[in-house]
Chains A and B, each alone.
Chain A
Amino acid sequence: MPEGSARAGRLLLAPIAFLYLIALLAPIGFFLVMSVFRYSALDLWVPTVTGENFARVLGESYHRAIILRTLKIAFFTTVGCLALGYPLAWYLARTTSAWRGVLMFLVIAPLMTGVIVRTYGWIVLLGSEGTINTLLRGLGLIDRPLKILHTELAVFIALVHILLPYMVFPLFSALAGQDPDLERAANTLGASRARTFLEVTLPLSRPGVLMGSALVFTLTAGAVVTPALMGGKDVQMLGQTIYELTMSTLNWPLASAVAFVLVVCQLAILLLYFGSGRRRAA
């Protein structure tokens, strides 16, 4: 390689570095800094340093409950996505069917239709006049419609559905990248299918699992639309809280403090991912 080009190559990253700096890092940084400023009904915020926002976020039971609920839903959503996504990713990575391209597309396609679209689909499915209820009533299993919407369960189901592709991709990538001879070798050495999976495939797919989990967790924690539509006022998550504080209540410092907590949770997850992922870096 003409070495000038290696150096020049790195220079090419200047535009994106610049963009990220002024449009991503600086604004977010500033917004998070606001968490220590004082709220003012007149000017959105007053630059005096105070800890009252964090006191409220971490102290008030209302906010604490929301944080815990968000973490809980994020955790279960991640697990749910993992449970459903792994078999799917494994199948896609190992299948030799000619339909493979189509099958993969079918996983991406819902993703690209956007959050609103799919959330709406679930409203139709889970509403009191929705498909599930109609089906169950039609079969005579219940007389009154089940209240599924506006529960944590509804939010959970919808989130798993929406975020599933984000789990499938990294998993697929990790699984497809494995040398197929590894599984064959284990087999010929006497390992059963299950054993091979547990001892060879699963551990090797760990980077994919971590990446997918990190992604899903991030997306769940920051979700607004789906919890709002599926959960309404009954299921409040961090995202909605931030939205309301920013747009309705206009208490930006408090919103910032909540966002700060969100970011901290996320960083923790990301560190987990990078920490264990990097030790195994290829």
Chain B
Amino acid sequence: MPPDARAATVAGPARVVVAARRPPRLGRFAFGIAVTAIYVFLLAPVAIIVFSSFNPTEANTFPPGGFSLRWYGKFLESERFVGSFRFSLWLAVVAAVAATLIGFVTAYGLVRGWQRGRGLVQSLAMLPMMVPHLLISISLLLALLIVPVPELAVLIVGHVLICLPFTIACIVASLEGIDAQLELAALTLGASRARALWEVVIPLVAPGLLSALLFAFMVSFGDVYIALFLSGPGRTTLPIEVFAYMQWESTPVVAAITTVQILLIIGLGLVIERLVGLRKIMRV
């Protein structure tokens, strides 16, 4: 029996690298075409909208006959569109902040309260995602009819509800990447729980919080269903305004508006990507 504790270090066997079999060129080529086609499918309508927003004529044709910014002009002139755009922005900011705050508290509770086995509880936190937004909206409208609560508040609540699954997912993903022992270390060094949170957790979860804010903003801004039932005079969101418009007319001003919206969202998306890196958030 060799007292290996005292033996000289033994060299291990040479590592053997096994290369995986590479698929045939044709197969990969076909696959590449397929993926590209899917991307085209995914992005074409969006691209088309952008292009047709510059259409000088009224028809919804593509390719557009020329180049014109008149629809952008129409958009900016229109009181109802600009007004609802402003309202949508405001609403999105409020909903995003609220959803991020509640989301943070919830995510922290989830990650720290369950060392393992939080699958079911976390799924429950995602509830609004599993319920048709339509249903949420109608129910809130009903509640409104019964309980005297300001309609604006209910609209905000509705948006917060649909944003929460996103913010929770973002922040949970971020928190999971933080070593639980860091907070313990801070405690043993004399920090109170609050201090430990502020000094250690918040700085490290900041990217998650930021991406939660931005995701929630995008969800709220783009929402149609909640606002469908809960909008009203003075509180109409841009998508609803557009939807109403589209029921009766269909001019490229819609394209102009949506292009602006796309630019806004792409801008925000790039900010997320810069700050956080999408890979981390996609682990929903």
Q: Do chains A and B touch in the complex (CB under 8 A)?
A: yes
Q: Does A112 contact B (CB under 8 A)?
A: yes
Q: Name the residue of chain A whose CB is nearest to the CB of B262.
A: A113
List CB contacts (< 8 Å) of B83-136 with chain A. Answer: 102, 105-106, 108-115, 119, 121, 123, 125, 127-136
Select the residue from A113, A118, A274 with max chain B CB neighbours within 10 A.
A113
Q: Give the Cβ gap from A80 to chain B, nearest Cβ, in Å.
A: 10
Determine whether the beta carbon of A12 is less than 8 Å from that of B105: yes
Across the interface, B113 reaches (CB within 8 A) one of A7, A26, A225, namely A7
Determine whether the beta carbon of A122 is less than 8 Å from that of B45: yes
15 contacting pairs across A/B (C-beta < 8 A): A2-B184, A5-B193, A9-B112, A10-B113, A16-B106, A27-B143, A84-B38, A101-B279, A106-B43, A124-B60, A161-B41, A218-B132, A229-B243, A229-B246, A266-B130
Determine whether the beta carbon of A113 is less than 8 Å from that of B261: yes
Q: Does A39 contact B (CB under 8 A)?
A: no
- Complex Cα spacing A108 to B45, Å: 14
* Neighbouring B residues of A242 by C-beta, 8 Å: 134, 138
* Neighbouring B residues of A28 by C-beta, 8 Å: 131, 135-136, 139
* Neighbouring A residues of B114 by C-beta, 8 Å: 6, 9-10
Determine whether the beta carbon of B134 is less than 8 Å from that of A101: no
Determine whether the beta carbon of B20 is less than 8 Å from that of A188: yes
Across the interface, B138 reaches (CB within 8 A) one of A122, A127, A214, A246, namely A246
Q: Does B233 contact A (CB under 8 A)?
A: no
Select the residue from A5, A12, A117, A161 with max chain B CB neighbours within 10 A.
A117
Q: Does B229 contact A (CB under 8 A)?
A: yes
* Neighbouring A residues of B161 by C-beta, 8 Å: 19-20, 23-24
Write out, one digit per residue, whether chain A residues 102-140 have a CB within 8 A of any chain B CB (1) or not (0): 111111111011111110111111010111001000000
* Neighbouring A residues of B20 by C-beta, 8 Å: 183-184, 187-188
- Complex Cα spacing A101 to B279, Å: 7
Contact A263:B239 (CB < 8 A) given known A9-B114, A16-B106: no
- Complex Cα spacing A220 to B39, Å: 21
- Complex Cα spacing A55 to B123, Å: 34
Q: Does B222 contact A (CB under 8 A)?
A: yes
Q: Does A172 contact B (CB under 8 A)?
A: yes
Q: Does A231 contact B (CB under 8 A)?
A: no
Measured CB to CB, the residues of A under 8 A from B are 1-2, 5-13, 15-16, 19-20, 23-24, 26-28, 30-31, 34, 44, 84, 87-88, 91, 100-110, 112-118, 120-125, 127, 129-131, 134, 161, 164-165, 169-170, 172-173, 176-177, 183-184, 187-188, 192-193, 214-215, 218-219, 221-225, 229, 239, 242-243, 246-247, 252, 255, 259, 262-263, 266, 270, 274, 278, 281
Across the interface, A113 reaches (CB within 8 A) one of B134, B139, B222, B255, namely B222
- Complex Cα spacing A243 to B31, Å: 42
Contact A116:B246 (CB < 8 A) given known A124-B45, A125-B48, A193-B23: yes
Determine whether the beta carbon of A104 is less than 8 Å from that of B140: no
Determine whether the beta carbon of A31 is less than 8 Å from that of B284: no
Determine whether the beta carbon of B102 is less than 8 Å from that of A16: yes
Measured CB to CB, the residues of B under 8 A from A are 18, 20-21, 23, 27, 31, 34-35, 38-39, 41-46, 48-49, 52, 59-63, 102, 105-106, 108-115, 119, 121, 123, 125, 127-136, 138-143, 145-146, 157-158, 160-161, 164, 180, 184, 187, 193, 218-219, 221-225, 228-229, 239, 242-243, 246, 250, 254-255, 258, 261-262, 265-266, 268-270, 273, 277-279, 282-284
Q: Name the residue of chain B whose CB is nearest to the CB of A1.
A: B180
Contact A109:B132 (CB < 8 A) given known A10-B109, A127-B60: no
Determine whether the beta carbon of A9 is less than 8 Å from that of B34: no
Q: Name the residue of chain A whose CB is nearest to the CB of B103.
A: A16
Known: A9-B111, A176-B282, A274-B123. 14 other contacts (CB 8 A): A1-B184, A30-B146, A31-B142, A112-B265, A112-B269, A115-B222, A120-B254, A121-B49, A131-B48, A176-B283, A218-B129, A239-B132, A252-B142, A262-B132
Across the interface, B243 reaches (CB within 8 A) one of A116, A130, A172, A278, namely A116
* Neighbouring A residues of B39 by C-beta, 8 Å: 88, 103, 106
Across the interface, B278 reaches (CB within 8 A) one of A5, A24, A104, A112, namely A104
Select the residue from B39, B60, B239, B254 with max chain A CB neighbours within 10 A.
B60
* Neighbouring A residues of B59 by C-beta, 8 Å: 129
Determine whether the beta carbon of B113 is less than 8 Å from that of A27: no
Select the residue from A24, A164, A247 with max chain B CB neighbours within 10 A.
A24
- Complex Cα spacing A25 to B191, Å: 39
* Neighbouring B residues of A164 by C-beta, 8 Å: 41-42
Determine whether the beta carbon of B277 is less than 8 Å from that of A117: no
- Complex Cα spacing A20 to B131, Å: 12
- Complex Cα spacing A260 to B269, Å: 37
- Complex Cα spacing A187 to B220, Å: 46
- Complex Cα spacing A27 to B125, Å: 17
Q: Give the Cβ gap from A193 to chain B, nearest Cβ, in Å.
A: 5
Across the interface, A101 reaches (CB within 8 A) one of B61, B146, B278, namely B278
